[in-house]
Amino acid sequence: MLASSVGNCIKSVRRHGLLSTITLYWSRLRERMHERHLGIRSGEIISLKELGLEHEERRGHYPTQFNDFRLMEKFLRPETPNEVFIDYGAGLGRAVILAAMLPFKRVIGIEISLVLAERARENVSQCQSKLRCEDIKIVNADAATFEVPADATTIFFNYPFAGTILANVLDKIRLSYEQRPRPIKLICNLPPESAFRDQICRVEGFELQRQVHLGEGRQCFVFAVRRGLSD
């Protein structure tokens, strides 16, 4: 085990340089420290094949980095005590847990994989005492058919899907807004260039408001539902 780790480190130095390797390993160490503090296990990268959910429009489980979430927190933090957070593609529940440490009224994670949904619930249970939000649900459902609650205000995406799945989700968000107009923001953790971002930008009623650089080649894109959409 040790020899393998040392070998991988040497390969990384040769390929990426000493500074980049130090940054990478320090980032991994911080991730493990955060997980240990919360008492959860949410850092695995899991392919769609492993989950039996292979689909050209879906993406495997790749958790939001703790530091990236911290950088996005200023856009996520609720401004009123009645705000509701939804994470599409909740995976092992990391973003749900981090959101529940903020003063949201409710936090909901949508996850199509029953296996991941069950493990996400276990993670939430493990760190319940550290969370501010008491109403937390992991829903095992297809994002494309999930009905957006009438009080949802903050919607989070860590690049879980695109194409027709995303189109259906955006339609559901717009319908929810039209039925009850209110401020709704979409916080998207994406690569700098992605079909996901381009697709939202092409849809009427969603306005790109902010773009912020995160770590390891990621960017945060903040969209808002236009207030005049239902007019």
Cα→Cα distances 51→47, 113, 116, Å? 7, 7, 9
Position 52 in a domain: no
Position 148 in a domain: yes
| pLDDT classification of 8: cutoffs 50, 70, 90 | very low
Q: 228 versus 102: which is more confidently predicted?
A: 102
16 and 122 part of one domain: no
| pLDDT classification of 6: cutoffs 50, 70, 90 | very low
Beta-carbon neighbour count of residue 95 at 10 Å? 29
33 and 105 part of one domain: no
110 and 198 part of one domain: yes
Position 29 in a domain: yes
Q: For the residues 14-19, what does the mean pLDDT come to?
A: 54
94 and 201 part of one domain: yes
Position 16 in a domain: yes
Q: For the residues 39-56, what does the mean pLDDT come to?
A: 94
177 and 82 part of one domain: yes
Position 90 in a domain: yes
Position 44 in a domain: no
Instruction: State both tokens at 202.
Output: 């092409």
Residue 59 contacts residue 191 (beta carbons within 8 Å): no
Residue 79 contacts residue 154 (beta carbons within 8 Å): no
Position 183 in a domain: yes
pLDDT confidence of residue 216: 75
Q: 134 versus 192: which is more confidently predicted?
A: 134
Number of domains present in the structure of the chain? 2
Q: Is the model's pLDDT at 57 over the cut of 60?
A: yes
pLDDT confidence of residue 193: 84
pLDDT tens, position by position, 127-164 = 999 999 999 999 999 999 999 999 999 999 999 999 99
| pLDDT classification of 2: cutoffs 50, 70, 90 | very low
pLDDT confidence of residue 27: 64
- Dist CA 155 CA 142 (whole Å): 16
**Domain extent for 194:** 66-230
Position 116 in a domain: yes
Strands (E), the chain: 84-88, 106-111, 136-140, 152-157, 185-190, 206-213, 219-225
Q: For the residues 200-210, what does the mean pLDDT come to?
A: 94
Q: pTM for this structure?
A: 0.87
Q: What is the CATH number of the domain that holds 156?
A: 3.40.50.150
107 and 71 part of one domain: yes
Axis crossing angle, helix 2-16 with helix 18-38, rounded to the nearest 10:
130
23 and 116 part of one domain: no
Closest CA to 225 of 170, 149, 161: 170
127 and 27 part of one domain: no
